Structure 1
Amino acid sequence: MNNKLVICGYGWLGRYLGKAMSATHTIIATTRSEEKALKISDKHIKGLVFSLGDDTTTLCEALGNATLVLNIPPGRRNTQLDDFTDNMLTLIDNAVAARVARIIFISTTSVYGDNRTDVLNEHASTQPETASAKAHVAIEQHLLDLKTNDKVDVKIVRLAGLTGPDRHPVNSLSGRSLNAGNKRINLVHIHDVVAALKTLIFADSSKNNTSKIDSTDLYHLCSLQHPKRGDYYTQAAQKKGIAAPTFSESDLAPTGKVIDAKASWALLGILPDYANPDDMI
């Protein structure tokens, strides 16, 4: 059984995943400071100082026959991402050279752009608009090219907007005046994301009953319901007891993209516990 897991980018999502996998896997988790590396290290998790662009030698020493969860975001406000993309591709190539067993890349549904109004399944074309989305598309394509050439096993996981018990987008929207209240929302709860990632990681550890998972390289993780954001965030603020945002166009017919994740959940054999965004509040 392959029980080596490297989480490259041990942020909010990484901490939830590390806690969930610590009983079954030996985990190396990268962080950018020595202080944080020491803080996260225990008998199950070893913190490793690594920043994107650093020499990868020490990191790659841990990657042989390991599952690598690659979760390094570029930063929302960064619009110059050529170096970020190049460094990610270099890290991936070095991981492959180190004989990593599988790469699970945490991507984003923003690769579809923000101006679409259709239902988007895993076969929909990407139309990235932001620098971050364009970088993610480039990294995805590089990984898929490596997969096609039998260089490494690859899984790409496109996440909708992440929520959790200590994180919900309504907190940053509280009291604001916003447009497009009729746009649909696409959210996913950290509990369901961890369940999906655990399934993919264990599928790498054992080839028993993994034919469905092995049949695809791309997954959507998103709730199954998509209310209008004006309605949803107003109700969410009221439930949380914070100042509600106000939206224009909330009374118009729903519009905006819908991330269809039904096929992905079915392949994973998971019915998300937070299929309804109301349950995420």
Structure 2
Amino acid sequence: MKKIGIIGYGWLGARIGASISDQYKIYATTTTSEKADELNAKGINAVVASFPDYQLSEPYPQWEVLKNLDVLIITIPISEKSCCVSSLYNRIQNLSSFIGDFKGQLFLMSSTGVYPDVSKEFSEEDLPFEKVSGERMVRNKYPQVNILRLGGLMGDNRFLKNYNVSNLDFAVNHIHYKDIAGILLKMIENGTETSLYNVTALLHPSKAQVINAQKNIENGEELEEVKGKKILSSKLVSELEYVFEYPDPRKFHEI
């Protein structure tokens, strides 16, 4: 059985782990000893680790289980929106001390938030990883890394109707967490490396259309034009031949 490490066992990390734990042995990091104890009690080998955005007096100690891992999935925030470039550099330095010179299959969970707020359709070619500081820093250290730019994380207890939402006529770029797990499984099975993919559901209805569907408003107002940016997953579908389990954000709540 392959061994997979998940750095950052939060909302997404936990759901990825639950989706693949029947096929892979899971190792994880979390930020509190209470959560680590809880995971260890469930059979998940967990340690406490956080990656501050300042320079440490001594290098971060390397993860002891690293040499036994086949795959590593990084879910902690690595973006300029979470901190400035210098702080981001420090965070990635601390992370790289923790994972050393890992040579196995590696995944970085990035975000579609890297794309500018312009009303157009975006593919990966519109913004190469070299122009995104966090992605570039990680790729420079780990050339094999796969970068997945995730849309808004949805499914389980996350639905748009539960949030205060503005710009209701703008398109959503959402992804169901089960499709993230499905894409990861496909890439692991294929041994994929060095890829950059947008990961959003195939359809991009407006926020109003999604909320109406989730509130079971059958005759909700249909907008003539859906505004805003749309992040396309065409490359992923073409190269991986992946079939989305949840292609329509209006139906995430039905399944």
TM range (shorter): 0.7 to 0.9
Distance (whole Å) between structure 1 residues aligned to residue 202 and residue 208 of structure 2: 18
Taking the aligned partners of 1:259 and 1:89, their CA distance within structure 2 comes to 30
Which residue does 1:139 correspond to in 2? 134
- Secondary structure at the aligned position of 2:246 is classed as coil
1:106 and 2:109 are equivalent in the alignment: yes
Residue 76 of structure 2 corresponds to which residue in structure 1? 72
- Is residue 223–residue 274 contact of structure 1 (8 Å, CA) maintained in 2? yes
Q: Which residue of 1 aligns with 2:172?
A: 185
Name the residue aligned to 2:17.
Answer: 18
- Give the deviation of 1:94 after TM superposition: 5.2
* Amino acid of the structure 1 residue aligned with 2:25: T
How far off its partner does 1:258 sit?
0.9
1:83 CA displacement: 2.6
Query: Match of 1:279?
Result: 251
Instruction: Pick closer, same or farther for the CA change 1:30–1:198 going to 2, 3 Å.
Output: same
Among 142, 146, 152, the residue aligned to 1:155:
146
- Tell me what 2:225 maps to: 253
Report the Cα offset of residue 253 of structure 1: 2.4
Q: 1:221 to 1:85 in 2, by over 3 A?
A: same
Cα pair 1:140 1:156 within 8 Å, conserved: yes
State the alpha-carbon separation in 2 of the partners of residues 126 and 58 from structure 1. Answer: 30
Q: Does 1:225 align with 2:225?
A: no
Partner of 2:66: 63
Is 1:89–1:142's contact at 8 Å kept on the other side of the alignment? no
Structure 2 spans left out of the alignment, 5+ residues: none
3-state DSSP of counterpart to 1:64: helix
Report the CA distance shift for 1:219/1:90 in structure 2 as closer, same or farther (over 3 A).
same
Q: Please say if residues 5 and 28 of structure 1, whose CA atoms lie closer than 8 Å, have aligned partners that are also in contact.
A: yes
Q: Give the C-alpha shift of residue 162 in structure 1.
A: 0.9
Alignment size in residue pairs: 244
Cα displacement string for residues 139-197 of structure 1 (whole angstroms, at most 9, x for unaligned residues) = 211233345xxxx4210011001111221122012xx6x3x322111111011111011
The answer (yes or no) to whether the contact 1:68–1:100 under 8 Å persists in 2 is no
Q: Could you tell me which amino acid in structure 1 is paired with residue 199 of structure 2? A: L
Q: 1:25 to 1:185 in 2, by over 3 A?
A: same
- The C-alpha deviation readout for 1:77-124, integer Å capped at 9, x for no partner, is 855574344212442365243x341320000000002x2111111211
Q: Take 1:253 and 1:201, find their aligned partners in 2: how far apart are those partners?
A: 39
- Alignment TM-score, normalising by the size of structure 1: 0.76
Match of 1:170 in 2: 161
Aligned to 1:209: none
Q: Distance in 1 between matches of 2:9 and 2:197?
A: 21
Q: Which runs of 5+ in 1 are unaligned?
A: 128-133, 205-212
Amino acid of the structure 2 residue aligned with 1:275: P
1:6 matched residue in structure 2 = 5
Cα distance in 1 between the residues matched to 2:139 and 2:205: 33
Q: Is the 8 A contact 2:80 2:133 kept in 1?
A: no
> What TM-score do the two structures reach when normalised by structure 2?
0.83
CA distance in 1 between partners of 2:100 and 2:125 (Å): 26
How many percent identity over aligned positions?
A: 26
- Say whether 1:262 aligns with 2:234: yes
Distance change (3 Å), C-alpha of 1:76 and 1:162: farther
How far does residue 8 in structure 1 lie from its aligned partner after superposition?
0.4
Question: How far off its partner does 1:64 sit?
Answer: 2.4
